[in-house]
Amino acid sequence: MDAGEGKDGAANAAPKDPNESREAHKAQKAVQAQRKAAKPHSTLIARAKSVWAQARRKNITPAERQKDVRELMGVIRGHVKEIAFKHDASRIVQTAVKYGSPADRNEIAGELAGSFRELAQNKYSRFLVTKLIRLCPKHRASILREFQGHVLRLLLHREASAVLADAFELYANAYERAILLRDFYGKETALFDLSTGEADKEKAKDGLPGVLKGVDEGRRTRILTAVRENLESVFNNPDKGAVTHAIVHRALWEYLTALGNLSDATVREKLYREAFDMCQDMLVEMVHTKDGSRVAREFLARGSAKDRKQIIKNMSKHIGPMCTDEDAQLVLFTALDVIDDTKLLAKSVVATMTADTHTLSESTAGRRALLYLLVPRNRRHFTPAQIAALAETDAARGETSKKAPEIRAAEVRQAASPALLAWVAEHGAHAVRDTGPCILVTDIMLYAEDGTQRRRITAMLGAASAPYPAPPADEDGDADMDAVDSPHVIDLPHAARLYKTLLQGGHFSHAQGAVERAERWDASAFAVRFADVVGKGTVVAMCTAGARGGVFVVAELLGALPKEKRAEVCAWFTPAVRDDIEAGDAKGKKVLLEKLADA
């Protein structure tokens, strides 16, 4: 048969019976139903799924949901363990835990007692364990106790690792964290189980220092060796992801703290070197937690110049994200505090930070990172807790760094200033309209180092020189929406405070009761430029035309101007203008009128 005959034959073939495929489909479904029915607890699971479908609905009242949950508990009660391991039924128990009462949750936790380690390693039921740890504080310690003796293996398990990480970081208290940390201290320590007595609980909270307290030198050595070996098992398997978990960071920090208490300096330095070699390539993965950040800062402070260079090299591609992380940025601050090679800092750290100034200026943490380049540990921008944390490495810095802190800070500030000032020149007029960026602009203006102030002064005065007040409605009676949405910069309280601070030459210190003058800022020169650029019309209008914060700014302007220029500006305020100011209700008018009278 040729090709044509083949086609004709296919065309003339009888059509398939539509009922045939329908019957085949029915038969296939029947086989599937038989297979499901043959599985253990199939009837129970089918009934539970039916009730579960009602309990998990979103658009129902709390009373209806509680009714459905009670019915669901009636179905699964006594069979929770059988259901929890099923890939298609584990979520049924999770729903009961999520929406059930504390009594329901405790009942479920009681039925699952003894199975939590196995559940944590299951792809589906691990979420149930996390929910019970979070929502059943009464059973939390007993759940975590089931992990004892297996913590290190579970940390390297793909599913269980997340359960332990969440339990340690998010939900456990100090005693419950001690339960998980115990496995890092070795089998010898594990033999002495954690008691539930209150006195023993308090002792357990001390972690490794509590375990080492009062022990003989031989046992101390064995325990520290066990901690190091257990940490090595984690760091030698970075692909498992446990390196990023806070529990590992806590164990490592406790180990380093214990090394610092060793009496033999040679042994101490040897073990410290081994610890650094063990984790130096993975420090960047640890800086996002409190203990991980503390470990990285300790290595920076105690390390040699070569060690510090290696740490900075490993972190160089992560500087941006570290700037906006509360714990990670402390590592950058410590690097700025301890590294003597400021050329390395300028190239690898400072340049990367300042290149992203516009983005960093939009967040509190980002602005704090930039401000540390100019005014490190300043109490206006850094909390006492942050300053205390950074001071923890000062003792080690005194032993390993040769450059004076003041010289290092000045060199860092000098390296950062050009890029920060360029950002002010380009974006300063817009940035001062937002409260947070305005704070950053203020300190860049006051403390940055450069050869000339003209460019940054011009950027600040461009916004202030706009006509005051906002433009009125146009000829058609339509208001200028941009003017309505964007009031004059001097009417923004934070921006007015910026101009006042610049005119007075620094921030006012409530502790000293006086202005702390910035050495690198010339308030008098700024005042002269303010008067020249903003001009008579706008300066006078700031005090008369519905004035707000402008009165205080102009009063400060008069105090900052040289004598001859002050007389010229005061002449702008004729008796009629002064009468308008006195008749107005602007705050600060009394201060302004007194300065005009004294001129």
Q: What pLDDT sits at residue 214? A: 85
Is residue 476 a part of any domain in this protein? no
540 bridge partner residues: none
* pTM (predicted TM-score): 0.86
Structure tokens at 40: 């253990």
- Phi/psi of residue 517, nearest 5 degrees: -75, 135
Integer Rg of the chain from CA: 35
**Token pair 């029947």 is at which residue?**
30
Q: Is 593 exposed, middle or buried (0-12, 13-18, 19+ CB in 10 A)?
A: middle
* 413 and 465 belong to one structural domain: no
Contact status, residue 206 vs residue 199, Cβ threshold 8 Å: no
Is residue 38 a part of any domain in this protein? no
* 568 and 462 belong to one structural domain: yes
Is residue 359 a part of any domain in this protein? yes
* 457 and 425 belong to one structural domain: no
- Phi/psi of residue 88, nearest 5 degrees: -100, 5
Is residue 19 a part of any domain in this protein? no
**Residue 567 neighbours by CB distance under 10 Å:** 11
* 408 and 524 belong to one structural domain: no
Is residue 423 a part of any domain in this protein? yes
Is residue 132 a part of any domain in this protein? no
Q: Is 492 exposed, middle or buried (0-12, 13-18, 19+ CB in 10 A)?
A: buried
**Residue at 391: amino acid letter:** A
* 384 and 457 belong to one structural domain: no
Can you tell me the distance from the alpha carbon of 448 to that of 163, in angstroms, rounded to the nearest whole number?
A: 48
* 457 and 404 belong to one structural domain: no
Q: In sequence order, what DSSP letters do the residues of 405-431 get, joined into one string?
A: HHHHHHHHHHHHHHHHHHHHHHHHHHH
Output the CA torsion sign for 77, 83, 89, 93.
Answer: positive
Q: Angle 133-135-140 (CA atoms, 0-180°, nearest 5)?
A: 35
- Phi/psi of residue 506, nearest 5 degrees: 160, 180
Q: Over its length of 599 residues, how does the chain's per-residue pLDDT go in tens digits?
A: 455 455 555 555 555 566 667 766 766 766 555 555 545 567 888 889 999 999 999 899 999 999 999 999 999 999 999 889 888 788 999 999 999 999 999 999 999 999 999 999 999 999 999 999 999 999 999 999 999 999 999 999 999 999 999 999 999 999 999 999 999 999 888 766 555 556 567 777 788 988 888 888 899 999 999 999 999 999 999 999 999 999 999 999 999 999 988 888 999 999 999 999 999 999 999 999 999 999 999 999 999 999 999 999 999 999 999 999 999 999 999 999 999 999 999 999 999 999 999 999 999 999 999 999 999 999 999 999 999 999 999 999 999 999 999 999 999 999 999 999 999 989 998 999 999 999 999 999 999 987 656 767 877 888 888 888 766 555 444 544 444 457 889 989 999 999 999 999 999 988 888 999 998 898 999 999 999 999 999 999 988 866 677 899 999 999 999 999 999 999 999 999 999 888 888 888 888 998 888 86
- Phi/psi of residue 456, nearest 5 degrees: -70, -35
* 295 and 350 belong to one structural domain: yes
- How many domains does one find in the chain? 2
Is residue 491 a part of any domain in this protein? yes
529-562 burial string, b = 16+ CB within 10 Å, else e?
bbbeebeeebbbbbbbeebbbbbbbbbbbbbbbe
Can you tell me the distance from the alpha carbon of 297 to that of 194, in angstroms, rounded to the nearest whole number?
A: 32
Q: In sequence order, what DSSP letters do the residues of 63-109 get, joined into one string?
A: HHHHHHHHHHHHHHTT-HHHHHT-TTTHHHHHHHHHHS-HHHHHHHH
Q: Are strands 514-517 and 506-509 parallel, antiparallel or unpaired?
A: antiparallel
Q: In sequence order, what DSSP letters do the residues of 438-491 get, joined into one string?
A: HHHHHHHHHH---S-SHHHHHHHHHHHTS-SS-----TTS---HHHHHS--GGG
* 466 and 427 belong to one structural domain: no
**Residue at 45: amino acid letter:** I
Q: Angle 361-294-286 (CA atoms, 0-180°, nearest 5)?
A: 75
- List the domain range (segments joined by +) for residue 514: 452-471+482-598
Identify the CA nearest to 234 among candidates 117, 151, 327: 151
Is residue 133 a part of any domain in this protein? no
* 398 and 529 belong to one structural domain: no
509 bridge partner residues: 514
* 461 and 578 belong to one structural domain: yes
* 380 and 493 belong to one structural domain: no
* 513 and 543 belong to one structural domain: yes
Segment (H or E) for 506: strand 506-509
